[in-house]
Amino acid sequence: MSAAFVVMSGLVLALPVIFLVIGLTSPPLRFTFIGTAVAVAIGSLGVWLFYKPKALDLSKGELVIRFPMRELPFSRDEIVRAEVLTKAEIRTTLGYALRVGVGGLFGVFGLLWTQKLGWVSVYVTTLEPWLLVTRKRGRPLLLSPRDPEAVARLLG
């Protein structure tokens, strides 16, 4: 995970503690702040367990994105192309984009509507470089493996 996401995640994860302290020390606001602290903590745990990738596995038959509580398999027969995008190439390749999902807490996850490619599934934990995986059917994938060049070669 890149340093920027570590800092943003730290700030978000500090919120339940701050809200809990406010709730416990201020009786008129107790229910609101303790409830908000619990909601933020549960949401953060859900993002960690179901949306933050922990590994990207390549086998002869498939590419699998592994999460702590689930996995997403993609048949290698469905993969048309994999290309590495630097920060400078991201805007050129994707155009303007609008994210739907998580942005900042442990990375960027969910859907990204892009001007040039339409909807893209995004699972990135670094700021760059990213790996754009184009599939025959379904949304393209935007990933951030440790070595995007090596993964692109293996998928190519």
Q: Are 152 and 83 in contact (CB under 8 A)?
A: yes
Using DSSP bridges, classify how beta strands 71-75 and 141-143 pair: parallel, antiparallel or unpaired: unpaired
Quote the pLDDT of residue 104.
Answer: 85
Q: Model-level pTM?
A: 0.87
Domain ranges of the chain: 77-155
Q: Are 2 and 9 in contact (CB under 8 A)?
A: no
Look at residue 60 and tell me whether its pLDDT is greater than 90.
Answer: no
Instruction: Provide mean pLDDT across the span 140-147.
Output: 96
Instruction: Provide mean pLDDT across the span 134-143.
Output: 96
Q: What tens digit of pLDDT does each residue of 94-128 get?
A: 999 999 999 889 999 999 999 999 999 999 999 88
**DSSP of 79-137, one letter per residue?**
EEEEEEE-HHHHHHHH-SEEEEEEESSSSEEEEEEETTTEEEEEEE-SSS-EEEEEESS
Look at residue 1 and tell me whether its pLDDT is greater than 90.
Answer: no
